[in-house]
Structure 1
Amino acid sequence: MTKLISQYTALLDKLDRLDWLVPTLARLSFLAVLFFYFWNSATLKIDGSIFSPSAGAFGQIFPKAAEAVLYDVTQLNIFQRLVIFGGTVAEFVLPVLIVIGLMTRVAALAMIGFVMVQTLVDVTGHGVALGSLFDSAQGLIDQRVMWILLFAILVFKGAGPVSLDALLRKRAT
């Protein structure tokens, strides 16, 4: 029995030395699973340029206000324009920062905030049931819990050794 415990402890020690792999795999998982979701979402929010919000963005972010004016983007007020612009920029920039591993902790923390706001809009504006967590057929909110966990790994562990953050840290020392 002592030998079995010793082998188990030795295995755990080896696994602990692979701790650097966790944030690297988290970034690769983000690239494989969520990067293009956010990138495509951002491209749908613009109508020709980053400064021209689309009717889809209006309806997606401010569904009740958009419906009230029949999705006419000329009716956007300055606050709505700024929110759509900020959200679009965030959906383009933050995923790229995570993938290349630059300012990863900040970008991941911002993505957690982004997903929380996105979920709040879905619940208050689009009628997604928040009370259905983990038992919903749609599973939208359940998925976002997993997204936040992925971003939390990056917030707490950083980008890992294969990243621009690691390169900059190495150059600074």
Structure 2
Amino acid sequence: MNTLISIHDATFDRLENAAAPWLLPTLARFTFAATLLLYFWNSGLTKLGGGIGGLFAPSLGAYAQIFPKAMEAVGYDVGQLGLFHRLVVLAGTYAEFLLPLLLLLGLATRLSALGMIGFIAVQSLTDLFGHGAISQPETLGAWFDRVPDSPILDQRLFWITVLMVLVIRGAGPLSLDRLLRRHAPYDSSAA
């Protein structure tokens, strides 16, 4: 039995040492790009106003998605909301484009992944308390319940887990982070 354990440990230790540094972050970025990149970009597109000015004038839907209760309170008149609301909507909209793009390119990956985790946390809290999903068991879901497809608890746990791999391991070899690090001057005081 000890021989089997030794073979097992030696095999998987070699695999971990050889593959984990490049395979895990590469798979995490691929998984994010394949499953969530267009989700976030399409969501961001719904928040843009019409024309080129839409980059600076979010749609009514953007305010309704991000501040549902505030919009209801003002009768869906965006003019009654303040500068704070506008800045949050603009920041949220830009984040839906910029953070996924940075992850796709592997640029500032760890910070971008942290930003996405924060974004998903805010998105989830808005869905739960702003849009009322907290009272919808099928949307909220539950862990350890044999039903793996609830939009909030189940799906977003997977999203955050993929992003945590990038926070911990970085972007991997196929990234601008790696390319820039190769061309950066060596600073012996940082070693």
TM-score, normalisation: structure 2: 0.84
> 1:45 is paired with a residue of what secondary structure?
coil
Match of 2:26?
24
Q: Residues 23-172 of structure 1 correspond to what in structure 2 (within 5 A)?
A: 23-48=25-50, 49-129=54-134, 132-134=141-143, 135=145, 139-141=150-152, 142-172=154-184
1:23 and 1:153 in contact (8 A); partners too: yes
Q: Which moved more, 1:112-121 or 1:73-82?
A: 73-82
Residues of 2 paired with 1:2 and 1:74: CA distance?
Answer: 73
- Shift, 1:144, TM fit: 0.9
Native 8 Å contact 1:115 1:144 kept in 2: yes
Alignment partners' CA distance in 2, 1:41 and 1:3? 54
Residue 133 of structure 2: SS of its match in structure 1? coil
5+ long unaligned stretches in structure 1: none
Displacement after TM superposition at 1:7 (Å): 2.8
Tell me how far 1:68 sits from its aligned partner: 2.5
Please say if residues 149 and 155 of structure 2, whose CA atoms lie closer than 8 Å, have aligned partners that are also in contact.
no
Equivalences, count = 173
Corresponding residue for 1:12?
12
CA RMSD of aligned residues (A): 1.9
Distance 2:129 2:178 in 1: 40
Q: Give the AA of the match of 2:19.
A: L
**Maintained 8 Å contact 1:54/1:73:** no
2:86 and 2:58 map into 1 onto residues whose CA distance is 7
